[in-house]
Amino acid sequence: MPKLKTKLPSASVTVKTEVVCPNDTNPMGMLQGGQLVHWMDIAAAVCAQVHAEKICVTASIDSMNFRAPAKVGDIITIKAKITRAFVSSMEIWVRAWVKNIKGKETALLSEAYFTFVALDDDITPAKLPALQPETEEEKDQYEQALKRKQGKAQR
């Protein structure tokens, strides 16, 4: 089996943009949390699949808090970035911002850590390329990812 190459976090960064439409909202005209989770999951999946070069599936999502409301017409920007690749699973940090187009204000809407597993053609876990963090933030996220994984294992 060929050795998997090492990749940089920047190589798989994914940015997704959506506009909040009436079908995305609750009766109060605010973005439904489930719709935001769906959009964030798609961005995380793309990030994971670019890193793995394989189909990846969601294994878990850490707690997600909604920090600001989003209303019809607001623009949602979602950024997904891999923090660490383990053997067949990887952690993806996903953040979403809301921008009111009229007021031009941008606020952090939500953030969460998603865990994905890469699958081979037989639908079994596949080995991942290693991750080489570059920036101080990436190095910190890389170390913290192991602690988060170990914390989940102890539950």
- Does the reported pTM lie above 0.75? yes
What is the reported pLDDT for 4?
A: 72
End-to-end CA distance of the chain: 35
What is the reported pLDDT for 52?
A: 97
Set out the domains of the chain in order of their start, with CATH numbers.
9-153 (3.10.129.10)
Question: Which CA distances in Å does 64 have to 50, 52, 123?
Answer: 24, 25, 28
What is the reported pLDDT for 1?
A: 52
> Mind listing the pLDDT tens digit for each residue in 86-107?
999 999 999 999 999 887 789 9
Give the contacts of 40 (CB within 8 A, at least 6 positions apart): 64, 78, 80, 94, 96, 110, 112, 114
> Mind listing the pLDDT tens digit for each residue in 136-153?
999 999 999 999 988 876
What is the reported pLDDT for 105?
A: 84
What is the reported pLDDT for 2?
A: 58
Q: How far apart are CA 136 and CA 71, in angstroms?
A: 35
Residue 7 structure tokens: 């990749």
Q: How far apart are CA 13 and CA 116, in angstroms?
A: 15
Which stretches of the chain score pLDDT less than 70? 1-3, 153-155
What is the reported pLDDT for 3?
A: 63
What is the reported pLDDT for 103?
A: 79
Helix (H) or strand (E) holding 42: helix 33-52
